[in-house]
Amino acid sequence: MNKKLVIFLMSGRETPELAAAAAQGGADLIELGFPFSDPLADGPVIRRAAERALSEGMRTKACLECLAEIRGRVQVPLVPFVYSALLEAYGHKRFVADAASAGASAILVPDLPVDSHPELRRIQLVAPTSTDERIRLAAATTDGWLYLVTLTGTTGARTELSSALAGLAERARHLAPPELPLYAGFGISTPEHARAAAEIADGVIVGSRAIEVAEDGPEQLRRYVSSLRESVDAAR
Amino acid sequence: MPSPPAKKISPAEGRGLYGGYGGRYVPETLIPALEELETGWRAALADLDFISELNELLANYGGRPTPLTQAMRFCPEKRIYLKREDLLHTGAHKLNNALGQIVLARRLGKKRIVAETGAGQHGVATATVCARFGLDCVVYMGVEDMRRQRPNVERMQLLGAEVRPVEIGTQTLKEATSEAIRDWITNVETTHYLIGSCVGPHPYPEIVRVLQSVIGRESREQILEREGRLPEAVIACVGGGSNSIGMFAGFLDDAEVKLYGVEAAGAASLGSGRVAILHGARSLVLADEDGQIADAHSISAGLDYPGVGPEHAALRDSGRVKYLPCTDDEALAAFERLTKTEGIIPALESSHALARALDTDESLIVVCLSGRGDKDLDEALAQLGRRA
C-alpha cells in the first residue's frame, strides 16, 4: 500500500498557489489551517503563521473562500484544521455544511477530545497518553483515518522522530478496525523523519517545516514536498 | 480552626458543566491527565488526612482565619466590612488555592509545577508553596505584566522559581496561561499545572472554587458573629473570578444576600463578552463574532483577562449574581481613599470592589479585600500623579 503524505498550510492569500505546488510535489492531502488567536496545540511556527494570517484578515469566511479556491486548483482531498472556538462561533452544523460545499472532505479539530460533541463527524486524534479505551473510541468514530500525535507536546520541528510513535502505532493497530489508516503527525520535519514515520504508520503529516519552507515561495515548497515524497515512497 | 472545604458539588459540576458553560476543550494529550487529576481530587476530598493537612497549613503557615475589619472612615454612611485576604501569607487570597493544589500535586506524585501569573500574586503564591515543599517551579508571565509588577517577579525569583517571560500576542495573562498549558502538554507526565483562577478545563474551575470557598465560609461566620445577621450585599472583584467565586460560595444559598461581582470596565467578560472558548473551557469571553479572542484592558494586571470562570457565566445567566463594571479611575480613587481613611493599601484588583461598595444601595456590606497593594505602588503612583 502506498504511504500517504499530508502537508499542512495556513490559510492566506498565497495559499492556493502554495497548495498547487504542494500537490505537484506529491502531497496526497492538504490540511488547511484556520488561524485562531489562542491555539493551544501549536508551537511557535504555526502560532506565528496564524498571527500573520489573522492580521491579513483570514477569518473563518475568508478561510472557507481560500478552501474553495484551492479546490478549484488541486485534486487532492482537503481537510480544514480548525479550533473549537471558531466552530463555536460559526456553528458546528453550518461549518460542516459550508466546508463541504467549499470542497473539504473532512475536518480536524485539535482541541475537541473524542468524547465531546460526538455528533460532529471529524478526524479524531490520539496521543501517546491516550488510554486504550479512548483509542478504541477514536478509531471507531473517526472520519476516514486516525491522526496519531507522535509526542506529548505542541506542533513544531524536533531534531528526532518521537520514540513514542512506535508504541502508539502498535496500540492503535491492535485497537482499531483492521483497514483503518493511521497517519502520524507532530514533530516530523525532515525526509529522514518522514521515512521513519512512514515505516510505522500509513501516512505522515508535515506542518511547521512546510510553513517555514512555504515562506520562500511555491517552487521551494514543491521541491521540499518532492523530497518528502521520495522518502515516504522509499519506506518499507 | 478553619472548617473543612465544602464538599457540596452538584452532579452537573461533577461533569464540569455549569449551565452549558465549562467542559474540556483541550488537545487529547491532556485528557488522561485531567482524568487523573479529577480522580485524585475526589479521593483527596474524601480523605480526612488531606483535609487536616490542608487545614493545618492554612492556619499555621497561611495565617487563617483572616480578620473581618470594619471600614468606618472609608464610608461612614454604611457598615462596610473588609474580608482581609490581604493579610494572608504572601498578601493575597491566591495562597488558599496554591496550598490546596500543592498538597494535591504531591499526592499525585508530581515533582514539577507550572503556573501562569498576571499580577504576580498567583505566581508568588505558587513559588512560595513550591519552596515550602521543595518542588521545581516554572511561572509564565507576560513581559508587559513583568514590567508592571516588577517586585513580584523579584519575589518569585528569590523563592527559587524560574519566571519565563511570554513575549507573544498581548504579553499579558491570556498569553501566559496559553504558554503554561503548552508546557503542561509537553511535560504532562511529571508536571502539575497549578492554575490560579476558576478557569480552564474541568475539573479546575471546581477545584479552585472549593479551595477558595474558605473565604466565604469564614466571612459568613464572622459577620454573623459581629452583626448578628447576614449582610445585605457581598462584593468581590472578578478577573478570572477566584476570590469572588470563593466569597460567593459562602452566600449562594442565602437568597436575601445580594451578590455583586465587579469587573474592570475594559475587561468585562460578563458585562460585554460573548460565548466563546478560551483556555479549555466554554464561557463568556471578550471575543469577536468569529470567536477570535480580543484584548482586555485594565490598570490592574490581575483583572486584565478576556475570559472568566464558567460558573460565573452561569451565575450571571441565572441572575443570582449581578456583575458591574468599574473604570480604572474609579478603582484608583477607591485605592487612594482606603489607604488614606483606613491605613490599608489595597490591591488595585480589590479596589474595583471597594469602588462599587461606595455606591450600591445596600448599607451592610462585606467586601473581599482580595490582596494588598504594595505590588501596585509604582503603577498607582504614576497614574495618580498623572491625574493630579
pLDDT tens figures, A96-143: 999 999 999 999 999 999 999 999 999 999 999 999 999 999 999 999
Q: Is B33 touching A (CB cutoff 8 A)?
A: yes
pLDDT, tens digit, 9 for 90 and up, residues B149-175: 888 999 999 999 999 999 988 888 999
Tell me, yes or no, if the pTM score tops 0.90.
Answer: yes
Residue B14 has a pLDDT of 77
Check if the beta carbon of residue B22 is closer than 8 Å to that of residue B283. yes
Check if the beta carbon of residue B34 is closer than 8 Å to that of residue B202. yes
CB count within 10 Å of CB B382 equals 10
Determine whether the interchain pair A41/B27 forms a contact, defined as Cβ–Cβ distance below 8 Å: yes
Determine whether the interchain pair A89/B32 forms a contact, defined as Cβ–Cβ distance below 8 Å: no
Catalytic residues of B: 94, 116, 370
Average pLDDT of the residues in B195-206: 97
Look at residues A215, A179, A213, A185 and name the one whose alpha carbon lies nearest to residue A198: A185
Distance from CA of B266 to the nearest CA of A (A): 19
Give the CA distances from residue B303 to residues A216, B233, B282, in Å, rounded to whole numbers and listed in that order: 42, 22, 19
By C-alpha distance, the chain B residue nearest A62 is B290
DSSP state of B372: B
Mean pLDDT of chain B: 94
Q: Is B291 touching A (CB cutoff 8 A)?
A: yes
pLDDT, tens digit, 9 for 90 and up, residues B61-93: 999 999 999 999 999 999 999 999 999 999 999
pLDDT, tens digit, 9 for 90 and up, residues B128-144: 999 999 999 999 999 98
Q: Is A60 touching B (CB cutoff 8 A)?
A: yes
Q: Could you give the CA distance from residue A17 to residue A211 in angstroms, rounded to a whole number?
A: 13
Average pLDDT of the residues in B49-70: 98
Q: Is A163 touching B (CB cutoff 8 A)?
A: no
Tell me which residue in A38, A116, A152 faces B185 most closely, judged by beta carbons. A152
Taking 70 as the threshold, does the pLDDT of residue B49 lie above it?
Answer: yes
Torsion of CA A183, A189, A194, A197, to 10 degrees: -50
Residue B364 has a pLDDT of 98
C-alpha triplet B50, B52, B53: angle, nearest 5°: 65
Q: Is A113 touching B (CB cutoff 8 A)?
A: yes
Distance from CA of B324 to the nearest CA of A (A): 25
Q: Cell triple for residue B173?
A: 495573562
Taking 60 as the threshold, does the pLDDT of residue B7 lie above it?
Answer: no
Determine whether the interchain pair A113/B187 forms a contact, defined as Cβ–Cβ distance below 8 Å: no
Taking 80 as the threshold, does the pLDDT of residue B387 lie above it?
Answer: no
Check if the beta carbon of residue B116 is closer than 8 Å to that of residue B140. yes
Q: Could you give the CA distance from residue B335 to residue B330 in angstroms, rounded to a whole number?
A: 9
Q: Which residues of chain A have pLDDT under 70?
A: 1
Taking 90 as the threshold, does the pLDDT of residue B283 lie above it?
Answer: yes
Q: Is A137 touching B (CB cutoff 8 A)?
A: no
Q: Is A31 a catalytic residue?
A: yes
Distance from CA of B169 to the nearest CA of A (A): 8
Check if the beta carbon of residue B370 is closer than 8 Å to that of residue B82. no
Check if the beta carbon of residue B86 is closer than 8 Å to that of residue B372. yes
Residue A60 has a pLDDT of 98
Q: Could you give the CA distance from residue B266 to residue B295 in angstroms, rounded to a whole number?
A: 9
Q: Could you give the CA distance from residue B251 to residue B243 in angstroms, rounded to a whole number?
A: 13
Query: Which residues partner with A182 through β-bridges?
Result: A146
Determine whether the interchain pair B290/A126 forms a contact, defined as Cβ–Cβ distance below 8 Å: no
Residue B1 has a pLDDT of 43
Q: Could you give the CA distance from residue A128 to residue B386 in angstroms, rounded to a whole number?
A: 55
By C-alpha distance, the chain A residue nearest B183 is A153
Residues in contact with B60: Cβ distance below 8 Å, sequence separation at least 6, in sequence order: none
Specify the range with the lowest mean pLDDT, choosing from B260-269, B277-286, B299-308, B357-366. Answer: B299-308
Tell me which residue in B185, B276, B277 faces A153 most closely, judged by beta carbons. B185
pLDDT over 70 percentage in chain B:
97
Q: Is B181 touching A (CB cutoff 8 A)?
A: yes
Active-site residue among A17, A28, A42, A216? A42
**Alpha helix positions (H), chain B:** 11-14, 31-45, 48-57, 94-107, 121-133, 143-148, 150-158, 173-186, 204-227, 242-249, 269-272, 310-318, 328-342, 348-359, 377-387
ipTM of the complex: 0.95
Q: Could you give the CA distance from residue A30 to residue A80 in angstroms, rounded to a whole number?
A: 8
Determine whether the interchain pair B291/A112 forms a contact, defined as Cβ–Cβ distance below 8 Å: no
Q: Is A114 touching B (CB cutoff 8 A)?
A: yes
